A and B are shown apart, each in its own frame.
Chain A
Amino acid sequence: DQQVKQNSPSLSVQEGRISILNCDYTNSMFDYFLWYKKYPAEGPTFLISISSIKDKNEDGRFTVFLNKSAKHLSLHIVPSQPGDSAVYFCAASPGDFGNEKLTFGTGTRLTIIP
């Protein structure tokens, strides 16, 4: 039973345009959501997060939107740059101190076309 789903295995976007990566979850106990970015031969690196009490969090070119009623979150990258080409993982957690383990999606491979 996959509790965090990224239904698009891959996405190609022209440089300078907006990249939108989507993620759905099923577990209502999830309280904190994160996006990780992974380059080949490297471990995932934290990108941006959002708490369930918010519906939007912005950090530079990266914005995460959360729709709790739809159990859906998305990551927007504007403008997209060639260095953004990577695999992006959505992850969710109950968020309670001492119970912060992450459940990951399967990832979306983003390719930015120059």
Chain B
Amino acid sequence: DAMVIQNPRYQVTQFGKPVTLSCSQTLNHNVMYWYQQKSSQAPKLLFHYYDKDFNNEADTPDNFQSRRPNTSFCFLDIRSPGLGDAAMYLCATSRGASGVAYNEQFFGPGTRLTVL
């Protein structure tokens, strides 16, 4: 089945220790998104890639970076995690095709990040 895969599902890191979260997709979608969801809050878009074009949200902290080395993979790097960065991180993809009413987003299961 075509899908969005996130690894690891659970990640524990220490305060200030860099961490990388991984997302891969077999859907061959053009667009990949990273969301942060804190407890009882709405998922919040951090940034997205349209193909190789990176689009950062205005309020995404500089501490968060992303890489997309190819169509299938996208990484979220947190350079110096703080306690406030503990959250569920969701990766999503969409086809990004023109001429359709809307390109729905398909989500992975998420990575829960704990910062000690």
Enumerate chain A interface residues (CB-CB to B < 8 A): 2, 4, 9, 32, 34, 36, 41-46, 49, 51, 89, 93, 95, 97-98, 100-107
Contacts and interface: CB of A to CB of B under 8 A. Distances in A.
B42 A104 contact: yes
Interface residues of B, number: 29
B67 to A, nearest CB: 19
Q: Is the interface of B mostly helix, strand, loop or mixed?
A: loop
Given A4-B42, A42-B109, A106-B42, A49 B104 contact: yes
Interface centre among A36, A51, A100, by most B CB within 10 Å? Answer: A100
A4 B110 CA distance: 22
Contacts of B45: 101-103
Interface of B: 4, 6, 9, 31, 33, 40-45, 48, 50, 90, 92, 94, 96, 98-99, 101-110
Contacts of A101: 33, 45, 48
A4 B31 CA distance: 23
A93 B43 contact: no
